[in-house]
Chains A and B, each alone.
Chain A
Amino acid sequence: QVQVVESGGGVVQPGRSLRLSCAASGFTFSTFAMHWVRQSPGKVLEWVAAVSYDGTYKYYADSVKGRFTFSRDNSENSLYLQMNSLRPEDTAVYYCARESGPYYNPGAFDIWGQGTMVTVSS
């Protein structure tokens, strides 16, 4: 079964850090770019970060650049989002998603996890 499963969400104080994980299974993980997308309560989808299939290239939304770091371990079929200096506006459900185009081919997000909730509050 092709799936991705997020974990690591929780409640954290402003300025603190949190690390999200995403475990992939059922497909050749090392051939697909992966993304994080977030959705604040009652709000729209916001693309957060991307990593190329081999980890060479990483892209970040301006809203998280310099604070979030996206990494992947192809030997473990896993992704990690290290979130530092968290702000209340980072409160959202964070989704891990697979980009359908293999390697460097652009594609839609065809596989999504169920999401993990991050709440930044004092």
Chain B
Amino acid sequence: ELVMTQSPATLSVSPGQRAILSCRASQRISTNVAWYQQKVGQAPRLLIHGAATRATGISARFSGSGSGTEFTLTISSLQSEDFAVYYCQQYNTWPYSFGQGTKLEIK
């Protein structure tokens, strides 16, 4: 089974600063990676698909990069509504799998 490993588990960043979240796949998965944002009590929301393509309506402050096994989600100029949990997911190989999440908290 393909494992997605996110780091760090928790990231403390000040508003206005930049956050960089990482995700590593246990096998090569091309660019079949998505990033989701989840706030407490809400369903996940798709941010990025194809490793680097923003979903409809997503702010340009969110950007994704990477291919193969290493992937990154960058959030620039953090705003209060960005503090949440972020998950990466691979949809290259069955079973599809999620990372364990990175909690982005206010510093």
Residue from the list B32, B89, B95 in contact with A59, Cβ < 8 A: B95
Give the interface SS of chain B, mostly helix, strand, loop or mixed. Answer: loop
Instruction: Give the CA-CA distance A107 to B90 in the complex, in Å.
Output: 9
CA distance A62 to B94 in the complex (A): 11
Chain A residues near B97: list those with CB within 8 A.
47
Judged by a CB distance under 8 angstroms, whether A45 is at the interface is: yes
| Smallest Cβ-Cβ distance to A57: which chain B residue | B94
Q: How large is the interface on B (under 10, 10 to 19, 20 to 34, 35 or more residues)?
A: 20 to 34
**Chain B 24-54 interface mask (CB, 8 Å, partner A; 1/0):** 0000000010101010000111100110000
Judge whether B49 and A107 touch: CB under 8 Å.
yes
B21 vs chain A, min Cβ distance (A): 15
Among A75-122, those with CB < 8 Å from B are 95, 99-100, 106-110, 112-115
Task: Report whether A108 and B43 are in contact in the complex, using a CB–CB cutoff of 8 Å.
Answer: no
Interface size on A, residues (CB 8 A): 22
Q: Once bound together, how far apart are the Cα atoms of A46 and B97, in whole Å?
A: 7
User: Is A24 an interface position by the 8 A CB rule?
Assistant: no
What is the predominant secondary structure among interface residues of chain A facing chain B? Answer: strand
Which of B46, B98, B100 is in CB contact (< 8 Å) with A47?
B98
Contacts of B94 on A, CB cut-off 8 Å?
59
Residues of A within 8 A of B78 (CB): none
17 residue pairs A–B, Cβ–Cβ below 8 Å: A44-B87, A44-B100, A47-B95, A61-B95, A95-B44, A100-B49, A106-B32, A106-B91, A107-B49, A108-B46, A108-B49, A108-B55, A109-B46, A109-B89, A110-B55, A112-B46, A113-B43
Q: Which residues of A contact B (CB under 8 A)?
A: 35, 37, 44-47, 50, 59, 61-62, 95, 99-100, 106-110, 112-115
Closest 8 CB pairs of A and B: A108-B34, A108-B49, A112-B43, A45-B98, A106-B91, A110-B46, A44-B100, A47-B96
